[in-house]
Amino acid sequence: MLKKHLSNPVLILLMLLLSVNVLFCFLPYLGNLAPGIFHSKFLQPIGFKFECLRPYLRHVRKAGYYTYPSLAQQRKNLYIMKDFGEAQYVVSPTIFDFERPWDYEYVVFLLYDGRNSEAFMIPQDYKVLISSQNQVFLLKKVSS
């Protein structure tokens, strides 16, 4: 009788999908048990690289958003737009403006080509408030 049920392709497919679902449900917990083995960038939550901005932008209504290369020129680059959406999601209700980023007290500055921030001309009226390992910088306008 068991042999009859195991030959049913629909049942085999359902069992396979259930097994994969269970595996992916428990994979993050396995990562906590053995971090070196199960560590993967695909298991990181959405917007993890922008979490460092949350405490600083908690009460900020609007902020600038600048990338190098410039986001205004790279709107068709899905990788850059994905990061913009993730940053917007993580620090909501703060609204980012990438058209005129230097009009605001705070500016989120991202680098995509792997260089350090010293290689770029940050306007003199801004200072780096925080920098992360993910090439995310928060700039704050220096009061004159």
pLDDT tens, position by position, 15-60: 888 777 776 666 666 555 555 555 555 567 788 889 889 999 999 9
pLDDT of 122 reads: 76
- Beta-carbon-side half-sphere exposure of residue 69 (alpha carbons within 13 Å): 9
Distance CA 17, CA 10 (A): 11
pLDDT of 64 reads: 92
- Is this structure's pTM higher than 0.95? no
pLDDT tens, position by position, 82-138: 888 899 999 989 999 988 888 999 999 888 766 555 556 777 888 888 888 878 889
Confidence of residue 8 (pLDDT cuts 50, 70, 90): confident
